[in-house]
Structures are given as C-alpha cells and as structure tokens.
Amino acid sequence: MTAQSNVHDLKNPMHVRLAAAFRISVLTDFEARVLDKGYVSREDYEEAYRLWVHRMTLEGFAVEDVKDSNGYYIPNWSSEARDELHRRSAPPEEVSRFEEKERATVHRLQKGTFLLVNAIFHEQAHPSGIMNN
C-alpha cells in the first residue's frame, strides 16, 4: 500500500476528525479511494476487513471471523508465538511484554486498511455525537 492523499483533502469533516483522532495524516490508496465518495459502504467495510486479515495472515497471525449481532467484525486473532508462551507457562512479565508488542503490530497492520474505515462505518451507522465538535 502506498501513501497517496492528505487527510485534509477529504470532503467529509467527520472523516477528517476521525483520522486526526487516530493520528492519521496521509491515506493509503485504498483509504483515499473509499473515502473520496464521502461515505463508507458495507462493501468498503468488508473489503477493509479482508485487507487487514490478509496483512495479518502474512505476518503469521490467525484471524477468526467474529461478528456481533449488528454484523460488525470483532477483531479476534491468535498467533503461534503467543500460544507457545502459554504452552510453556511463560512468566507473566514475558507474556505481558509479548502481548504489548503484538498489539502494536496488530495496530500497525490495521492502519491503512481496517482502522479508519471501521471507525467511520460505525460512526455513520450509529452517530455518537463526539465527532460533531
């Protein structure tokens, strides 16, 4: 994925505010294409999720498709490395350090794919009001 578009070029002010909340200033080609039309469709949301799952798989994670009662994905992943830590009853400090590193990796993989698109899709469907100021 290559960076293409500045967030401030987006048409929808809510998209700009959500991007700022995630400290995103430059969009990937995928995000720019999706957000250029001013809204996120269900198809865009599904594509964003699939892109994230693909990136996760390439990094060695297994992702289980879990949806809530409204049809939103609940990110659920595992890794061989984490499973191994638990199998050998690693000390809690080691597990904690590993899980912190793993969460950072997952967040990095969500950027440019699922992170922003997911947040916008949710906000469109169920406006929280926090993005109105």
DSSP 39-77: S--HHHHHHHHHHHHHHHHHTTEEE---B-TTS-B---E
CA-closest candidate to residue 55, choices 100, 105, 5: 105
Structure confidence at residue 2 (pLDDT) = 42
Q: Say if CB 78 and CB 106 are below 8 A apart.
A: no
User: Model-level pTM?
Assistant: 0.85
Structure confidence at residue 1 (pLDDT) = 40
Positions of the chain with pLDDT lower than 70, given as ranges: 1-4, 130-133
CA-closest candidate to residue 1, choices 43, 22, 32: 32
Contacts of 64 (CB under 8 A, 6+ apart): 76, 77, 78
